Structures are given as structure tokens and as C-alpha cells.
Amino acid sequence: MTRRLLVLAAALVATTSVHARSLAYEDNKLNFKNCKGEDVTARWRTEGITLSQAGKSPDAPGSAVEFQTWDGACASFGWDGANAQFEVKHGDAASRSNMVHFVAWDGSLWAATRTGAGFYMARIADKGDPDPKRHFKAAADRVTKSNFMQIPAADILAEELSKSGG
């Protein structure tokens, strides 16, 4: 009996640590670098997207927020409800996508999809990685394997990563 309990405890610890290392999860906020390099948090509200920073009140909801792209450029993203996709603008060029790439507070490179009032996101590469797309397939596999709760947005993110390169 004791042996079974030890095996069960070891399995739970292993499962927990694997899940913690999966670096793919659902959250009601997105923590990223804005175009000034500041750490900001975006949340969906009925009226749009709010941005906040530590120690400051959240901004009024807007239709889009600026973010730092993987190559350090400035872009913005909003939500196109009619097409159920992100609308991403780089300068004058606009595109729609199920996925947005962003730089996290620690400089690592992440991708996210929208899920209801939040996001499903996955860590793609370390800060300064010269070719983050080469990690897309591995990230897609990680997202698929860690989607124990069968979250539809995780499936969308995995599919987008799989078809986007790598």
C-alpha cells in the first residue's frame, strides 16, 4: 500500500512539473512589452481592450493596443469580431490572424490566440533567438499535449503554429 502511494505521489509530482514546464496556458490577461519597452498587461472588456501597468490605473478600453514585435518593431493588435480574428497592423499594413506574436516582460517570445475573455498562449523562444519560427512545431506539439481540458483556443494555437512554419 505504501509503495502504491509513493508511486501515485511521484506521478502527481511528475505531472505537475511537466505541466508547469509546458509553458502553454490560458489566462485572462496578456503580459507583454509595449512599443516603449514598458511592461504592460492587456485585458478584454466589453468595450474593448484595456492596458495597465504596475502601480497605475488601467487605461480606458480601446479598440487596439500597441506591442513590441519579435524583431523589436512596433505594431498594434485589436479584435475583428466579424471575422473572429486579431487585426494586426505594422505601419500601414494590416492583416488578420488567429495568432499574435509578442515579447513578454522577460524578453522571451510568445504567441497567443483569443479565448473568450482571455488568451491562450505559448512560449516559443528565448530572448534574442535569431530564428523563433524553428520552434513552432515543438511549441505546437507542447500545446496539443498539455491541452488536458480540451480548450478550443489551444487547438487553434497549435494549428496556427503547425501551419506557420518551423
- Cα separation, 18 vs 23, whole angstroms: 9
**Contact assessment for residue 67 and residue 35, using Cβ atoms and an 8 Å cutoff:** yes
pLDDT at 161 over 70: yes
pLDDT reported for residue 58: 87
pLDDT at 5 over 60: no
Residue 152 banded pLDDT, cuts 50, 70, 90 = very high
pLDDT, tens only, 107-122: 999 999 999 889 999 9
pLDDT reported for residue 8: 36
Count the alpha carbons within 13 Å of 146 in the hemisphere toward its beta carbon: 26
b/e code 19-36 from CB counts within 10 Å (16+ = b): eeebbbbbeeebbbbbbe
Residue 1 banded pLDDT, cuts 50, 70, 90 = low
**Contact assessment for residue 18 and residue 10, using Cβ atoms and an 8 Å cutoff:** no
Of 146, 103, 144, the closest CA to residue 126 belongs to: 103
- Cα separation, 26 vs 132, whole angstroms: 21
Q: How far is CA 21 from CA 17, 75, 94, 111, 152, in A?
A: 6, 29, 34, 16, 21
pLDDT averaged over every residue in the chain:
86
Sign of the CA dihedral 92, 93, 98, 101? negative
Pairwise pLDDT comparison (55 vs 76), residue with the higher score: 76
pLDDT, tens only, 126-143: 999 999 999 999 999 999
